[in-house]
Amino acid sequence: MLKEDRPSSRVLGGFDVLDLIGQGGMGSVYLARQISMDRLVALKILAPQLAKDEKFLERFFREARMSAMLNNVHIVQGIDVGEAEGFYYFAMEYVEGPTLAGILRERGRLTEQDALRVVLQVATGLEHAHDRGMVHRDIKPSNIIFSTKDKVVKLADLGLAKMYVERTAELTQTGRLVGTPYYMAPELARGEVVADTRSDIYSLGATFYHTVTGKPPFEGNTPAEILVKHMGEALTPPDQVNLLLSSGTCEVIEKMMAKDPNDRYPSPRDVVMDVRRLLTGRPPLLASSSRETELLERVEEEPSAVFAPAALSRPASGDSRLIWGVILGIVVVILVLIALVVSG
């Protein structure tokens, strides 16, 4: 069943390898059956060149085990990692259903509400991973799967994608493509190996942009041209591409995709909060700098600070005299009008 260096039998490390379902930079993914549990799994087998790198293998086992410890409905669950017949593999939950990439190819884009629901679920999974010190580094539509069984959205390749992107970045020469250019954070486009969850937030924002507009945020004739745009070109506001988008959704996307990581949401939890607000018809709190939103935030966090008498602004003494003068003048005019009516 395996295309290269195929093992002596179809059974590999307790898994019955059934069919090839995908290929990528790290290797091939097969549909397999875990014999001991009699269940279908996705079996990722490392590419031969990666399997020869001892440092990479060490990290592969460590990251795979950390990934298997994650337990969230919006993250593809890790099951087992091992070696058999010279092949290094990682078994994961098999999620049957289309990827976001496939849906976008078919439909062009999603409605704003559907896109918000997708982003909410991915950000919730990222929040779980972030709380446990894990970063993805390659969030894109093809890594987001719609589970037809569970009726939820799941993020795939958490941990392992980070490993591959970091290793490739270390070995990359100028001008060679690393990762997926359409959704890559500027700091990763510059080849910076050290990054945190804010890089994931940028990539999720770029995916969000594509999902509601039908096109990636930056396009070009070459991968290098696209990466340069991520680093330095101003983002075309999403509502200039899709006129139906709300201002709140545009504010959230633009904050997620800020060039400077310090200007983005600091954590997936903050993305979750603002997206939930949008789904319930309220404006985002953290993505907007408007006075109205600032007051809303104060009301939610400390209602008494806004509505207590001490918080109400008092006019200066000069303004007070002016106001009373105006009121007195109005009263005089009314009395004159009444007198005229009576005398008439």
- Does the global pTM surpass 0.95? no
What angle separates helix 197-213 from helix 112-130, to the nearest 10 degrees? 170
pLDDT for position 281? 95
Whether 150 is catalytic is: no
Catalytic position from the list 19, 53, 131, 138: 138
One digit per residue, the tens of pLDDT, for the chain of length 344 reads 454 544 546 888 899 999 998 887 778 889 999 999 999 999 989 888 888 888 888 888 887 888 788 889 999 988 999 999 889 999 999 999 999 999 999 999 999 999 999 999 999 999 999 998 888 888 999 999 999 988 999 998 875 544 444 444 444 433 344 457 999 999 988 887 667 899 999 999 999 999 999 999 999 999 999 999 999 999 999 999 999 999 999 999 999 999 999 999 999 999 999 999 999 999 999 987 544 444 455 555 554 433 333 333 333 344 445 566 667 777 766 776 776 666 66
Under 8 Å CB-to-CB from 9, ≥6 apart: which residues? none
pLDDT for position 47? 85
DSSP label at residue 261: G
Measured CA distances, 13 to 60, 108, 193 (Å) = 17, 41, 33
Q: Give the distance from CA 90 to its chain's centroid.
A: 24
Burial of 168 (0-12, 13-18, 19+ CB in 10 A): middle
Domains located in the chain, CATH noted? 14-93 (3.30.200.20), 100-289 (1.10.510.10)
pLDDT for position 173? 38
Tokens representing 216 are: 């990636």
Contacts 24+ apart (CB under 8 A), 191-199: 193/166, 193/169, 195/135, 195/137, 196/135, 196/261, 197/126, 197/130, 197/135, 197/267, 197/268, 198/261, 198/264, 198/265, 198/266, 199/135, 199/137, 199/261
pLDDT for position 35? 95
State the sign of the Cα–Cα–Cα–Cα dihedral 337, 339, 341, 344.
Answer: negative
pLDDT for position 56? 83
C-alpha 195/C-alpha 185 separation (Å) is: 10
Tokens representing 328 are: 């007195």
